[in-house]
Amino acid sequence: MEFLKPLIALLAIVNPIGVVPFFIHFTQGFSREERKRTIRTSSLAAFAVVAISSVAGLKLIEIFGISIASFQVGGGLLLLISSMHMLNAQPAESRREDVNEGQAKADAGSSIAVVPLTIPLLTGPATISTMVIYAEKTRTFWEHAALVGYGVVIGAATFLAFSAAGRIAKVLGQTGINVMTRLMGLILAAMAVELLADGLIKLFPVLASHLAN
């Protein structure tokens, strides 16, 4: 189960089904080929964010001299905030300004595949923080490779969700998508508290002794 925690956290944060209404809204004026190109680009970009974060994220915080314990507390808080968005049936890392920007770009005929569809609607600071935190927990090359492999899963999930966006919207409806987003938010909130607790114990070891008692 520990091995699957990063993947569960990623699926909860990215939650491509929760972004389906935005994808449909932004691409309603696109041709079939433009929509396919947007799906491919978004899937590849989502994979890239996860893979690069898992490989280079630790090096980046080392450059800035940030301890992993401090990063865990900050990342845990960020995940908790993201889960609150999801419990309100909103994408984990979106703002109203991002949605407005996406609509403006779509109306202007610009690509919305990377910004804002992938970043920040699908992936963003919470996704990056999650990958860095779990990358620190890896002990072997294969465990680290698995994190990069999870990026492939996220890219594939994004591709499948966007490719079947019309059918998903028809079957689940907005209510069904909102329910799924809230369930993912609940899972993410629990994982955020776990990461927060782990980071706080590393920063303040005295807490561990109190918990043991």
Average pLDDT over residues 179-203: 92
User: Distance between CA 100 and CA 102 in Å, rounded?
Assistant: 5
113 Cβ contact partners less than 8 Å away, ≥ 6 residues apart: 37, 38, 41, 42, 45
User: Distance between CA 28 and CA 174 in Å, rounded?
Assistant: 17
pLDDT digits (tens, 9 = 90+) for 63-73: 989 888 999 99
Residue 139's pLDDT band (cuts 50, 70, 90) = confident
Helix, strand, coil in percent for the chain, rounding step 5: 85, 0, 15
The pTM assigned to this predicted structure is 0.89
